[in-house]
Chain A
Amino acid sequence: MLAESLALSAVLFTIGVVGVLTRRNAIILFMCVELMLNAVNLSFVALSKLYGATGQVFVIFVMTVAAAEAAVGLAIIIAIFRHRQTVHLDDINLLKG
């Protein structure tokens, strides 16, 4: 099932990239990044059957970093929304508020 897992991982990663490139809602963009991280986790787990449990250890690290990233990113989105009343990325085009 290694080949199928890697193919599924690639498909999910591609769908995540398509989402990042096409969507304009900042929160959905973040969710697409989470989907890409999940796809990478799947290939880590699939390859850990061949190369030992280190891949699963790495998945735990990826999940922790994803949690930290989601917390900080969503806090930034809340701050932007409080400032501009929108999370639409086309409306957020100034570095200086």
Chain B
Amino acid sequence: MDNTFHPLFYGFHFYLFGLIAIASAILFVTRKSPVAAALWLINVMFCLAVLYVMLDAQFIGAIQVLVYAGAIMVVFLFVVMLLNLGQPDDLADIRGTGPRLAAGAVGLAILAEVMVLARSRIQGEYAPAAAVELLVPAADAVGGVIAPVAGPLFREHLLAFELTSILLLAAIVGAVVIGKKQGPADAR
């Protein structure tokens, strides 16, 4: 397989993950249980990460998974469980055979797709003939996908970047102060 751009393949996956995102978003706003809603929202965020990668914003896709799906949604789920809002009968259901088989089929399909893509990438770019020159493209790709984002971030937008760090510090302090349990000394 060559490593060229396949418009049909690209378009199919763009529409596929776009439709999954819309379906998950609709399920998210219609779920009664906050835990189920949060999990559907995480699904939306993963689909958006896929779309970011397909739109040539790989770094944004990575931090979408790390920061949004990883950190922010964990804070949401943590608060939901801290306040004990999830209904136990919703949480305790173990799905039947049909959904299990469907989940397995989807997992196998995605795994097969990843393996096909990995094989085509290896044979196209790093075929044995080209393996000797592998070090040169690797050295050229030092900037990678992060350099186009990091350049403007640390040059034109440096002031905004620093202000954002101050905002984060203020938010951390504010969250701790607001969320702190009031002791007997300052209870009113």
Contacts and interface: CB of A to CB of B under 8 A. Distances in A.
B41 A35 contact: yes
Contact of B164 (A46, A61, A76, A87): A61
B79 interface: yes
A16 B38 CA distance: 13
Main SS at interface, chain B:
helix
Contact of A71 (B26, B45, B75): B75
Contacts of B44: 12, 35, 38
B57 A27 contact: no
Interface residues of A, number: 54
B172 A78 contact: no
Given A60-B153, A68-B167, A75-B176, 7 more contacts: A4-B18, A12-B25, A27-B79, A45-B60, A49-B55, A76-B178, A87-B85
Main SS at interface, chain A:
helix
Contacts of A74: 75-76, 79, 175, 179
Interface in A1-25: 1, 4-5, 8, 11-12, 15-16, 18-19, 22-23, 25
15 contacts: A4-B14, A12-B21, A15-B29, A16-B25, A23-B29, A25-B34, A42-B51, A57-B149, A63-B68, A67-B67, A69-B171, A70-B75, A74-B179, A75-B175, A79-B178
Contacts of A22: 29
Interface in B83-130: 83, 85
Contacts of A57: 149, 152-153, 157
Nearest to A53: B148
Interface of A: 1, 4-5, 8, 11-12, 15-16, 18-19, 22-23, 25, 27-28, 30-32, 34-35, 38, 41-42, 45-46, 48-49, 52-54, 56-57, 59-61, 63-72, 74-79, 81-82, 87
Nearest to B66: A63
A83 B18 CA distance: 41
Given A65-B167, A68-B167, A75-B179, A27 B76 contact: yes
A70 B72 contact: yes
Given A15-B26, A19-B29, A72 B175 contact: yes
Contacts of B59: 56
Interface string B50-63: 01101111011001
